[in-house]
Amino acid sequence: MPFNILELNNELLTCIAGHLSIDDLKTFSIVCHRFCIIAHDDATWREMLHNEFGVTYKLPDDTWKQQYERKCTDPKDNRICPHLGLVTRKSLEPYKGNYNNVINRAPPQHNCVICAQNHYESGLCLYICKGNNRIRCKDCSYKFHAMQKGRHGILLRIPVLQMYCFTCSRQLGETRGDESEEYYVDQLLENLTHDSDKGREQLTKRRQCLFERGLHITDSDRKSVLSSTPCFYFIDRMWLWAWFLRLCDGKLATEPITNKILEDEKGELNRDARPRGGSTVAFSIVTPRLWNYLVKTYGLVGKSYQSSNYVFVLE
Ligand SMILES: [Zn+2]
Ligand SMILES: [Zn+2]
């Protein structure tokens, strides 16, 4: 019996259309009214996204076609990791027990099962790939990954809830990632952590870290501060730097802003203070929004110095 493509049901046609190139899809869509509808159906774009890029997630308010278009602008997987789709709520289920087990342990009990060293400070990890559920330190996870030819493992640093893709070589769902990736990671982590108070607390901290990293980019970069506001604040450069480094490591600051260091004997802003320091005390400049946020969140030792009260040459 001759094969007639018109006799295929819509599901199969969607599947076929999902394997076509954009040009072929255009041709496909002008064959007949039914094909035209299938070519424009979002399910077809979902298939295309998966077949062409391996991506299986999107923002809830986006269509699959929109996600396909986003992914077309990311050929090197710098913003939308295709390997992350291998981790789903379901595939994370077997890891929940070990995750909760680790976060509820006392500090002396954070030993890696491979090297037997204590890793309370640096944090234990889970290597998420096909139910592999052993609790390793970061170094042992890297070594384990090196032996897994062709596998796309994702590393989860348990205490800070950072997800790292070995294949893309970057943290997932963080500042450089696409919104859809950030959303998907957040959803996975919410599911992983929601069974325990400690887990939920960790997720709140992770979200705060990401929020503050965003603020760091927009509100402490010299050029954008100077162009966005006539009034800015001086902040101890070392404190700001330490705050940022901790955020990159998934941690919040632990001490109040140390602006006391910028003070001279009279309690005024030290006239020798310079933007980049050198032999003198150094400051950075931040927007009023970031300044107020940091003071409210971490506290302040020393004074608040607003630019309108000082004349400085900002080199
Ligand atoms: Zn990846
Ligand atoms: Zn180890």
pLDDT digits (tens, 9 = 90+) for 100-143: 999 998 888 999 999 999 999 889 999 998 878 899 999 999 99
45 plus 138 within the same structural domain:
no
Query: 144 C-alpha vs ligand 2 centroid, how far in Å?
Result: 10
Q: What is the DSSP letter of 270?
A: P
**For residue 4, is pLDDT > 80?**
no
Q: How far is the CA of 188 from the centre of ligand 2 (A)?
A: 25
What mean pLDDT is predicted for residues 58-86?
95
What gap in Å lies between CA 214 and CA 43, rounded to an integer? 34
Nearest Cα to Cα of residue 168 among 92, 261, 280, 74: 74
Which amino acid, residue 2?
A: P
For residues 109 and 204, membership in a common domain is answered with: yes
Q: Are residues 135 and 251 in the same domain?
A: no
Looking at the structure of the chain, the number of domains it has is 3
Instruction: Please state, in angstroms and rounded to a whole number, the distance separating the CA atoms of residues 79 and 193.
Output: 24
Residue 249 inside a domain? The answer is yes
DSSP structure string for 50-63 = HHHH------TTS-
Q: What pLDDT sits at residue 27?
A: 86
pLDDT in tens, 17-40: 888 888 888 888 888 888 888 888
Task: For residues 144-170, give the mean pLDDT.
Answer: 92
pLDDT of res. 311: 66
174 CA → ligand 1 middle, Å: 13
- Is residue 152 located within the same domain as residue 51? no
Q: For 81, list phi and psi in degrees, rounded to 5.
A: -75, 125
* Rounded Cα distance, 122 and 100, in Å: 17
Q: Where does the pLDDT of residue 313 fall: very low under 50, low under 70, confident under 90, or very high at 90 and above? A: low
The Å distance, Cα 77 to ligand 2 centre, comes to 29
Note whether residue 221 is domain-resident: no
Note the Cα 77 to chain centre separation in Å.
14
| Tokens at 66, concatenated | 């929109």
Ligand 2 center from residue 127 Cα (angstroms): 12
Q: Are 162 and 156 in contact (CB under 8 A)?
A: yes
Among 87, 11, 95, smallest CA distance to 56 is for 87
Q: Is the pLDDT of residue 170 over 90?
A: yes
Nearest residue to 260 (alpha-carbon basis) of 247, 269, 272, 251: 269
CATH number of the CATH domain containing 286: 3.30.2230.10
Distance 102 CA to ligand 1 centre (A): 25
- The total number of residues written for the chain in this structure: 315
User: Can you give the residue range of the structural domain that contains 254?
Assistant: 230-309
pLDDT (tens digit, 9 = 90+) per residue, 182-229?
A: 999 999 999 999 999 999 999 999 999 999 999 999 999 988 899 988
* 226-277 pLDDT, tens digit each: 998 889 999 999 999 999 999 999 999 999 999 999 998 888 888 888 887 7
Ligand nearest to the CA of 173: 1
Residues 100 and 57 in one domain: no
* Residue 202, C-beta contacts closer than 8 angstroms, at least 6 positions apart: 103, 159, 160, 161, 193
Whole-angstrom distance, CA of residue 142 vs CA of residue 112: 13
**177 and 204 assigned to the same domain:** yes
- The CA 168 to ligand 1 mean position distance, Å, reads 4
